[in-house]
């Protein structure tokens, strides 16, 4: 007997749990990499400039990427009124934006103090474009959907575009982080080493996280 279409329905709940496990794993691997193999991080360092740079992958991964992903799936993870879901969505995206701005500042500071040119790689081009689009998207969302809010008809017309560009920018964030890890891998000539394995596994988990977020968006909260 053929099964009904509803029997193949999948809830977003198990995917959400998986995504949160990925967040924990990505954060742990990133901290191990930067603390054990890269010497930690600092805003100012006279003799170890690399510690300034290390703030960049720390903030762009743990802050910009993970918080923006959590902000996207908040409507499926927080069982609350739409108003409160929207507020958490806004706050998490603001934290991601703040982390991203500080992360970009850190890499520019490192380059300037180390006499290294800025903006000379594809990673940097995509990254700066992503930050700028993210900031514009956040401001547009704040004034359109939160305060003072646009007219209901205008908000209804903007919502699909807001969701589309939100996912597009998130995908650009994934690409930025992946190219950044690859760039670091090549520049440091890590080849076959324990650090290389950590970077590669981090990249794979980030890819899975991006896929999970995309799947959570299209799945219902409950079946």
Give the pLDDT of residue 5. Answer: 44
Give the pLDDT of residue 19. Answer: 97
Helix, strand or coil, per DSSP, at residue 41: coil
pLDDT at 169 over 80: yes
Give the pLDDT of residue 3. Answer: 45
Residue 107: count other Cβ atoms within 10 Å of its Cβ: 22
Question: Within its chain, how far is the Cα of 8 from the centroid?
Answer: 31
Higher-confidence residue of 189 and 17: namely 17
What is the phi/psi pair of residue 220, to 5°? -75, 155
Give the pLDDT of residue 9. Answer: 66
Query: Rounded to two decimals, what is the model's pTM?
Result: 0.91
pLDDT at 220 over 90: no
Higher-confidence residue of 189 and 78: namely 78
pLDDT at 174 over 70: yes
What mean pLDDT comes out for the span 194-201?
92
Give the pLDDT of residue 72. Answer: 97
For 201-210, write each residue's pLDDT tens digit.
999 999 999 9
The span from the CA of 61 to the CA of 78, in Å, is 23
For 154-166, write each residue's pLDDT tens digit.
889 999 999 999 9
The span from the CA of 149 to the CA of 106, in Å, is 34
Give the pLDDT of residue 154. Answer: 87
Q: Which long-range contacts (CB under 8 A, 24 or more apart) does 125-131 make?
A: 126/172, 126/175, 126/176, 126/179, 127/60, 127/176, 127/180, 128/104, 129/172, 130/169, 130/172, 130/173, 130/176, 131/64, 131/97, 131/100, 131/101, 131/104
What mean pLDDT comes out for the span 147-173?
92
Give the pLDDT of residue 124. Answer: 96
- Terminal-to-terminal C-alpha distance of the chain: 22
Whole-number mean pLDDT of the chain? 91
The span from the CA of 199 to the CA of 185, in Å, is 8
Domains and CATH numbers, the chain: 12-218 (1.20.120.1770)
pLDDT at 119 over 50: yes
What mean pLDDT comes out for the span 93-103?
98
What mean pLDDT comes out for the span 28-47?
93
Whether the link from the prior residue into 113 is cis, omega within 30° of 0, is no
For 66-94, write each residue's pLDDT tens digit.
999 999 999 999 989 999 999 999 999 99
Q: Please answer whether residues 155 and 145 qualify as being in contact, where contact means their C-beta atoms are separated by less than 8 angstroms.
A: yes
pLDDT band at 221 (very low <50, low <70, confident <90, very high): confident
What mean pLDDT comes out for the span 182-187?
85
């Amino acid at each position: 007997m053929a099964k009904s279409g509803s029997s193949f329905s999948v809830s977003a709940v198990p995917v959400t749990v998986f995504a949160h496990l990925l967040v924990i794993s990505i954060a742990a691997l990133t901290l191990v990499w930067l603390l054990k193999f890269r010497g930690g991080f600092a805003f100012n360092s006279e003799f170890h400039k690399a510690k300034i740079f290390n703030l960049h992958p720390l903030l762009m991964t743990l802050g910009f990427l993970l918080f923006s992903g959590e902000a996207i799936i908040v409507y499926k993870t927080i069982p609350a009124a739409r108003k409160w879901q929207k507020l958490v969505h806004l706050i998490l995206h603001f934290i991601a934006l703040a982390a991203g701005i500080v992360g970009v500042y850190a890499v520019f500071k490192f380059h300037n103090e180390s006499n290294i040119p800025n903006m000379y790689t594809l990673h940097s081009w995509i990254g700066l474009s992503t930050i700028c689009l993210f900031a514009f998207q956040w401001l547009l969302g704040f004034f359109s959907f939160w305060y003072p809010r646009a007219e209901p008809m205008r908000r209804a017309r903007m919502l699909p575009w807001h969701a589309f560009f939100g996912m597009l920018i998130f995908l650009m964030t994934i690409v930025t982080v992946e190219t950044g890890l690859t760039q670091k891998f090549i520049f440091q000539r890590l080849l076959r080493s324990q650090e290389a394995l950590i970077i590669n596994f981090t990249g794979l988990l980030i890819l899975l996280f991006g896929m999970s977020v995309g799947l959570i968006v299209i799945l219902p909260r409950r079946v």
